[in-house]
């Protein structure tokens, strides 16, 4: 599995939001003794079973994670934090070590997410960058309600080809190996639902399909543990920032 993760990291060329969180986050989860907590934190049977915007983007996922929590703020207060996510923008509201990799100041910067990111516009089809010129594609943008990001092998190839055309040696080298990369599709949904008392239920769902088999497929739950560590911290980061803004 580690070999597969390393291969994906090289191919994706710093598209690190999920891939690196799987690798780094798994270690963080164990280090923070979250192994047991990952089975219960932020899980609601009703949320897991229901359909959400963007589910159709990955029709046959191999791994699904759905988490939710209550935020003491209105959807309109949380929404600007969601549309401001990304490299050179608001960050990802998770662990600083992950934001450091996407900092505009470079890998040695202390990088952390903005507490109050500047106003940012986002429409369907825009990229939410994880690096200059590359990242997720916003496939669903419904103000104050739902944001769904998406990435698959075809979109990744297009981004790498663009970077190669702009003169990136790293991208040119990646293109030579892209045929070896397993097909994958990933959707990442953020859904805001009003609750009584001026609160909002924030729901995150990740649906992943990866064309692997055998031991690599059986290792997906471990990848999910790393994803849990990332998402847990991210949701708490969004909550704290939104509640500070609401206050």
> What is the enclosing helix (H) or strand (E) of 157?
helix 153-165
- CATH number of 230's domain: 3.30.530.20
C-beta of residue 16 within 8 angstroms of C-beta of residue 130: yes
150: β partners: 137, 187
How far apart CA 59 and CA 64 sit, in angstroms, is 11
The answer, yes or no, to whether residue 196 has pLDDT greater than 90, is yes
| Range of lowest pLDDT (65-79, 110-124, 197-211) | 110-124
The whole domain housing 59 covers 2-246
What average pLDDT does the segment 207-213 reach? 83
* Residues near 145 by beta carbon (within 8 Å), at least 6 away in sequence: 53, 75, 191, 192
**What are the tens digits of pLDDT across the range 83-121?**
999 888 888 998 877 665 554 434 444 567 888 887 889
Is residue 195 helix, strand or coil? strand
Torsions phi, psi for 114 (to 5 deg)? -70, 140
Q: Domain tally for the chain?
A: 1
**DSSP code per residue over 216-228:** HHHTHHHHHHHHH
pLDDT at 133: 77
More confident position, 13 or 234:
234
- Beta strand pairing status for 134-142 and 127-131? antiparallel
Q: What pLDDT is attached to residue 17?
A: 47
């Amino acid at each position: 599995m580690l070999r597969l993760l390393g291969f994906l990291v090289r191919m994706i060329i710093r598209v690190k939001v999920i891939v690196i969180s799987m690798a780094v986050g798994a270690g963080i989860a164990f280090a923070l003794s979250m192994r047991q907590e990952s089975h219960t934190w932020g899980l609601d049977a009703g949320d897991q079973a229901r359909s959400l915007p963007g589910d159709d983007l990955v029709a046959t996922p191999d791994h699904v994670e759905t988490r939710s929590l209550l935020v003491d703020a209105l959807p309109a207060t949380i929404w600007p934090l969601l549309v401001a996510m990304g490299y050179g923008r608001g960050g990802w509201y998770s662990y600083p070590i992950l934001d450091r990799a996407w900092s505009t100041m470079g890998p040695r910067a202390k990088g952390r997410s903005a507490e109050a990111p500047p106003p940012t516009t986002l429409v369907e089809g825009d990229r939410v960058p994880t690096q200059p010129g590359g990242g997720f594609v916003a496939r669903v943008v419904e103000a104050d309600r739902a944001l769904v990001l998406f990435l698959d092998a075809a979109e990744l190839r297009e981004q790498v080809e663009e970077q190669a055309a702009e003169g990136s040696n790293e991208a040119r080298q990646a293109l030579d190996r892209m045929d070896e990369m397993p097909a994958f599709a990933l959707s990442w949904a953020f859904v805001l639902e009003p609750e009584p008392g001026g609160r909002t239920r924030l729901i995150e769902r990740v649906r992943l399909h990866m064309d692997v088999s055998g031991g690599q497929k059986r290792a997906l739950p471990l990848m999910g543990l790393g994803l849990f560590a990332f998402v847990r911290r991210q949701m708490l980061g969004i909550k704290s920032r939104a509640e500070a803004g609401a206050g």
